[in-house]
């Protein structure tokens, strides 16, 4: 977290990776891997067999036959060894293939039990891509800051709010499960007045009997109660600290416990690499560039620390193990397009005042230019500095994309999957080590995840604000992958 303007940027800070793990630019001939990681495969021993230098008393022909026999044995042993290795590999693949429920790559979602895998972007898009049309059924989402439940109608290829008439918590829990949440985190369903006049609703057919929720729903032009369902699958966006106090902070400051309870530190081999945000007891949102490469894409290498402000304290804790990493299938390493990833924990977090989820933005939510947001992390406190031992935070303003894409700023590099935040005069910004961490805002009495720290040029440099993954563009992707990997 940078709060001062220093010398000109010493590198193009694409990713804000801490220099101890991923330096931004390697000098010629430098080892491209971090010092804590080995880039050398085990070497094959090189030796010359020792042969006793004495004259054999046996005939030369017999010695030749023995040499030939020995060579044949060696060849047979090598062939048998190769066959054993191949058989083991095939057996391992078959065990993996039939033992794992979801056989798709992490970036794809399986269509029921058919084995067909399609990208999450093809789910609920009005086109049946699965053999049995699974991708166009059970399509639910939340809309607006009031968490209005909407259900997709494949018949009309449209999303409709659900009328509150005859709705109950059992239906709410079913809808939450279909967005990837656990019923254990279910918060509430309630009716709310509509902010706009809807022409059509999805209503429950109460005479349909005990059948699937989605078979009970039908499209209707009326809703007797006039209220639609507001669904909260998890209590999120809470902070134990007063907003009025934090709104007076305009520079980088040390955080207090419970102020940013969704903030986590992501470690590899006892080293802070990136930040992340808690969205459920088992799921963390971070940046895709944090999990690039063989070492960083391996879940077993990571540990997640939550509810701790000081990096030195984390040394004495075990952290949470990561079970699965899902990086966006359309992530582009050069442009940082779709820079988002999910981590699933092996064991769920225990929520406390210091460990809480942040709210994902709902469909239709728009965050305005100049809106106040906050960034937090253990990143460097000045350009070229080391990552901070303490969690810091700062207030920044959203900057219009057209401004960030102007020639004198980022010249068109800010894509629709990104948002700009900071100050054109510099002075306050994210920095290396803050990658993947949260950009949040406070609206309708809850904290929303606006973005994840992605890239920038230098730290706190004039006309070089921070660029963040646009979470409004990723919410559907997150829900689909949470649901497919429950």
Residues designated as active site: 289, 339, 435
Q: Which two tokens mark 425?
A: 């005069």
Query: Phi, psi at residue 480, to the nearest 5°?
Result: -60, -40
Query: CB burial class (10 A; 0-12, 13-18, 19+) of residue 45?
Result: exposed
Strand partners, 275: 265
Query: Phi, psi at residue 254, to the nearest 5°?
Result: -75, 135
Cα separation values, 336 from 300, 323, 327, Å: 25, 25, 12
- Answer for the pair 237, 358: CB distance below 8 angstroms, yes or no: yes
CA dist., res. 120 & res. 103, Å (int):
15
Q: Which two tokens mark 75?
A: 């060849």
Q: Which two tokens mark 34?
A: 């971090």
Q: How many helices (H) and strands (E) does the chain have?
A: 8, 22
Cβ neighbours for 144, distance < 8 A, ≥ 6 positions apart:
195, 362, 363, 364, 365
E strands in 82-226:
108-110, 117-119, 140-143, 148-153, 158-161, 188-193, 201-204, 217-220
Element of type H or E holding 394: strand 392-399
Cβ neighbours for 450, distance < 8 A, ≥ 6 positions apart:
361, 367, 373, 398, 419, 421, 439, 440, 441, 468, 471, 472
E strands in 297-378:
302-306, 320-327, 341-345, 372-377
> SS3 breakdown of the chain: % helix, strand, coil, rounded to 5?
20, 25, 50
């Amino acid at each position: 977290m940078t709060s001062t303007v220093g010398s000109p940027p010493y590198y193009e800070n694409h990713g804000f990776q801490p220099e101890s793990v991923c330096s931004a630019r390697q000098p010629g001939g430098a080892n491209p891997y971090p010092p804590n990681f080995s880039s050398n495969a085990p070497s094959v021993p090189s030796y010359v067999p020792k042969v006793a230098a004495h004259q054999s008393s046996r005939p030369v022909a017999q010695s030749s036959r023995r040499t030939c026999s020995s060579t044949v044995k060696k060849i047979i042993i090598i062939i048998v060894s190769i066959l054993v290795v191949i058989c083991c590999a095939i057996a391992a693949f078959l065990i993996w293939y039939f033992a794992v429920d979801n056989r798709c790559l992490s970036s794809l979602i399986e269509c029921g039990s058919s084995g067909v895998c399609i990208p999450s972007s093809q789910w609920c898009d009005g086109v049946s891509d699965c053999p049995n049309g699974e991708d166009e059924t059970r399509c639910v989402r939340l809309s607006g800051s009031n968490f209005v439940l909407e259900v997709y109608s494949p018949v009309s290829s449209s999303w409709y709010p659900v009328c509150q008439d005859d709705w109950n918590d059992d239906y709410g829990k079913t809808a939450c499960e279909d967005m990837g949440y656990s019923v254990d985190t279910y918060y509430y369903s309630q009716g709310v007045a509509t902010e706009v006049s809807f022409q059509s609703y999805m209503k429950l057919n109460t005479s349909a009997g005990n059948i699937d929720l989605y078979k009970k729903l039908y499209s209707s032009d009326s809703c007797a109660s006039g209220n639609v369902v507001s669904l909260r699958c998890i209590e999120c966006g809470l902070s134990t600290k007063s907003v009025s106090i934090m709104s007076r902070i305009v520079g980088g400051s040390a955080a207090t416990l419970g102020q940013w309870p969704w903030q986590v530190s992501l470690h590899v081999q006892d080293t802070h690499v990136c930040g992340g945000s808690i969205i459920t007891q088992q799921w963390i949102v971070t940046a895709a560039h944090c999990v690039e490469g063989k070492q960083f894409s391996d879940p077993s290498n990571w540990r997640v620390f939550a509810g701790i402000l000081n990096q030195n304290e984390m040394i004495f804790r075990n952290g949470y193990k990561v079970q699965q990493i899902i990086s966006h299938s359309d992530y582009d390493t050069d442009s940082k397009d779709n820079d988002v990833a999910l981590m699933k924990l092996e064991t769920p977090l225990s929520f406390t005042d210091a460990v809480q989820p942040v709210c994902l933005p709902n469909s239709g939510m728009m965050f305005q230019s100049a809106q106040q947001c906050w960034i937090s992390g253990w990143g460097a406190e000045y350009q070229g500095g080391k990552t901070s031992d303490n969690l810091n935070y700062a207030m920044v303003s959203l900057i219009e994309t057209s401004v960030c894409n102007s020639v004198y700023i980022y010249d068109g590099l800010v894509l629709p999957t990104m948002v700009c935040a900071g100050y054109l005069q510099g002075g306050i910004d994210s920095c290396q080590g803050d990658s993947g961490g949260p950009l949040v805002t406070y609206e309708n009495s809850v904290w929303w995840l606006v973005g994840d720290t992605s890239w920038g040029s230098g730290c706190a440099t004039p006309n070089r604000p921070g660029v963040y993954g646009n979470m409004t563009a990723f919410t559907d992707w997150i829900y689909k992958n949470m649901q497919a990997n429950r």
